[in-house]
Structure 1
Amino acid sequence: MQFLDAAEHTGTHPWAALDLAEIPDATVRLHWTDAPYRWHVNDGDEAFVVLDGAVDMHYKHGGEVMVERLTPGRICIAEAGDEHVAHPVGAARILVVEQRGSV
């Protein structure tokens, strides 16, 4: 798993991009939720950006469950095979970019 702060991204020139993940045949979804999802593993990479609210991202690292608090502008990149589950803190809106057909 990778966690980034969008506000920290700068470039050497205007429109400098940071490639986060390559996702063939991707979907881009705006989710609203006030309840946890379920533990799952995506078939491909997933970019998860909290736009409003806060989300505790639970993930497994070396067999141990870790938690990272995501707030607006904080980005989570879940790579294929990363087991994770999102727990919103109240209501949240989340932008998710993932491979079409992922769970």
Structure 2
Amino acid sequence: MGLKNATVRLHWTDAPYRWHVNDGPEAFVVLDGEVEMHFREEGQESLKRLTPGMICLVEEGDEHVAHPMGPARILVIEKADSE
């Protein structure tokens, strides 16, 4: 993932995100807490559990949603103006 035109945000949340598809790659870095990252592909859901220090790379076009399991601090790096 190139850093040109990227945004970097720190999220401190315990609320789930919404299902979405980005128009560029996205990186989630769990700094504190635990997050379940859900993916959908061809109608099938899969799950990756993230703990502090873990990085999840989401490719452009991958449908996904993050569900913090209680309070979590997450660093999100993605294309600027990504939906």
TM bracket, shorter-chain basis: over 0.9
- Whole-angstrom distance in 1 between the partners of 2:41 and 2:28: 18
Q: When the two structures are superposed, what TM-score results if normalisation uses the length of structure 1?
A: 0.76
Larger radius of gyration: 1
Q: Identical aligned pairs, as a percentage?
A: 66
Structure of higher RCO (CA pairs closer than 8 Å, 6+ residues apart): 2
CA distance in 1, matches of 2:3, 2:25: 6
* Unaligned 5+ runs, structure 1: 1-20
Does the 8 Å contact 1:23/1:45 carry over to 2?
no
**Could you report, residue by residue, the CA deviation over 1:21-47 in whole angstroms, capped at 9, with x for unpaired residues?**
224300011011111010000110001
Dislocated runs of 4+, deviation >6 Å = none
RMSD (Å), alpha carbons: 1.0
Cα distance in structure 1, aligned partners of 2:82 and 2:4: 12
TM-score computed with the length of structure 2 as normaliser: 0.94
Residue 86 of structure 1 corresponds to which residue in structure 2? 66
| 1:26-71 per-position Cα deviation (integer Å, ceiling 9, x unaligned) | 0011011111010000110001100000000000134310011000
Q: By percentage of residues, which structure has more strand?
A: 2
Tell me the amino acid that sits aligned with residue 61 of structure 1: E
1:65 matched to 2:42? The reply is no
Residue of structure 2 aligned with 1:44, choices 8, 11, 24: 24
Whether the 8 Å contact between 1:50 and 1:75 is mirrored in structure 2 is yes
Aligned residues of 1:45 and 1:99 also touching (Cα < 8 A): yes
User: What is the number of residues matched between the two proteins?
Assistant: 83
Structure 2 residues without counterparts, runs of 5 or longer: none
